[in-house]
A and B are shown apart, each in its own frame.
Chain A
């Protein structure tokens, strides 16, 4: 128990002092180990856990999806998807709000990053919506909340991280499990965005001529084909998620650099370095978290916490509510990747005791933290979404409220109705 207290205290002090989270995790693990080991052995154990934690073929999907996401973002693929979304839902009243949500869902279904989606889609849609008389802050709120669908709709980098933190839940199963919750969230956000747009009398009827519609549809096929190749290949078992992600890199490279020529060859070294650095930030977190979760389990911390959680209630419904509330609070002030790495080993054993499937919990965990990504004080989608819309958190906040309520309602459905997450992977034999 001493280990647990020391670990938690050191982590809290370093975290609040502003030490980068990966280092705070590694040092708190070291402090916890020093209780029972000498310093040399303790450091060697942490170093060894870090190395073995990174030694995983599944993790390679992260740099590859980041790389292909960056190329999509800059390489004209986002714009073609927006054009497609305009044809599909643009004619409805308040149409541009629907276009924004659908474009984020489409972008999310070929890239693993919601931040990239918020930047790419918001960058195109914001000026367009303002020109049509949509309020700047309302548009930003639509873009910010709907970007989160990309983390539920596969491929999704954070699901790869969860798979690792949970000790090997199938990435393919998690990917497939994310589809229905992601679609459900997207549709719910569209409904609310539509009601608000209608009440404010925003113009609809973005009419696209038949010839133009056909042209746009054909222009978007190469981008849509990527969904088929990546997810189709994974679902049919042709290749592993890692292999699929490498194919996504090759394919987006062909489209963005060779065919559309929107990325210059001279920009490539920078793209590779940036993707490697972004990955490394995740990997250092993964490595040190593996050290910490090893120390935590050897000090029986997950058991202690699960007993503490089970003391107030043995009721499944209340327990899930309690865990959701805790995760929502965590999500407001912690980035998603560290939160998944730290809280998966703590909460997963508890919910599994109550018969929750680890795939289902993965979706619930990510959904909770998605909401946190749109809330201050710390929310990367909120920051990026406000940045591209050239507005401030204080002004967007009020417009985000109805979307938060929508997200919470959908979260409730996803939490208490396991079939929403599990029906598809079960049907496909996972």
Chain B
């Protein structure tokens, strides 16, 4: 269990970094084909959107593992000792519930519906079910991180510290 967290971190960090690099190359290729070859590539925009869904959701799982999702922590930072532990147990149980109910449950059902309808994307002819697979996959990762964090809390082992800044602004 102790080595699971760093292993997940490494796997996700590598995957989202690589996917982002592919996204940049993909959009640059789109600009290049439009200007230099004056025959715009047909698949790049769709590929970029699908990559974005995967980066967004796998990255959300990575950020959950780093405890980097923005939270309103004014009240909870004042807690200490047993109250702090209770509050963190509540927070991570809530995240676990969301991951299992919405991402794994709802997302899994969405994938199943799309695959059984056999819908395909316009340009890449990709089954949309595979695009939406990012939801349950990210859900499993977030759930794993929540379980690890809950176990750390119960065994009173230190996990990563919270790390919140809205770097988008």
Interface residues of A (CB under 8 A from B): 14-23, 26-27, 30, 39-40, 42-48, 50-51, 54-57, 59-60, 62-64, 66-67, 113-116, 151, 157-158, 161, 239, 242-243, 246-247, 249-250, 269-270, 272-273, 275-287, 333-338, 373, 377-378, 380-381, 383-384
- How far in angstroms is the closest Cβ of chain B from A327? 15
Q: Which of B19, B70, B97 makes the CB contact (< 8 A) with A337?
A: B70
In contact, B91 and A19 (Cβ under 8 angstroms): yes
In contact, A26 and B102 (Cβ under 8 angstroms): yes
Main secondary structure of the interface of B (DSSP, over half): helix
Apart from the given pairs A18-B76, A115-B169, A380-B169, 9 other A-B contacts in the complex at a CB distance below 8 Å: A30-B101, A247-B31, A273-B62, A280-B57, A281-B69, A283-B52, A337-B169, A338-B70, A378-B74
Q: A26-B98, A250-B28, A336-B168 are in contact. Are A51 and B132 (CB under 8 A)?
A: yes
State which residues 83-137 of B face A: CB under 8 Å: 87, 90-91, 94-95, 97-98, 101-103, 105-107, 109-110, 113, 131-132, 134-135
- How far in angstroms is the closest Cβ of chain B from A384? 7
In contact, B59 and A283 (Cβ under 8 angstroms): yes
CA distance A239 to B33 in the complex (A): 12
- How far in angstroms is the closest Cβ of chain B from A62? 7
Q: How many A-B residue pairs have CB under 8 A?
A: 243
In contact, B169 and A243 (Cβ under 8 angstroms): no
Q: Name A64's closest neighbour in chain B (CB-CB).
A: B24
Main secondary structure of the interface of A (DSSP, over half): helix
Size of chain B's interface in residues, with CB distance under 8 A?
64
In contact, A23 and B95 (Cβ under 8 angstroms): yes
In contact, B59 and A243 (Cβ under 8 angstroms): no
Q: Does B159 contact A (CB under 8 A)?
A: no
CA distance A138 to B98 in the complex (A): 45
CA distance A46 to B102 in the complex (A): 7
- How far in angstroms is the closest Cβ of chain A from B65? 10
Q: Does B60 contact A (CB under 8 A)?
A: yes
In contact, A277 and B16 (Cβ under 8 angstroms): yes
Q: A17-B87, A157-B168, A242-B27 are in contact. Are A279 and B21 (CB under 8 A)?
A: no
In contact, A243 and B30 (Cβ under 8 angstroms): yes
Q: What A residues does B70 contact at CB under 8 A? A: 20-22, 281, 285, 335, 337-338
CA distance A336 to B166 in the complex (A): 7
In contact, A44 and B109 (Cβ under 8 angstroms): yes
List 9 A-B pairs, Cβ < 8 Å: A27-B94, A47-B106, A47-B135, A272-B18, A279-B168, A280-B62, A287-B57, A335-B166, A380-B167
CA distance A348 to B5 in the complex (A): 43
CA distance A373 to B168 in the complex (A): 12
Q: Which of B60, B97, B103, B107 makes the CB contact (< 8 A) with A283?
A: B60
- How far in angstroms is the closest Cβ of chain A from B127? 14
- How far in angstroms is the closest Cβ of chain B from A276? 4
Q: Which of A247, A270, A381, A384 makes the CB contact (< 8 A) with B28?
A: A247
CA distance A151 to B166 in the complex (A): 13
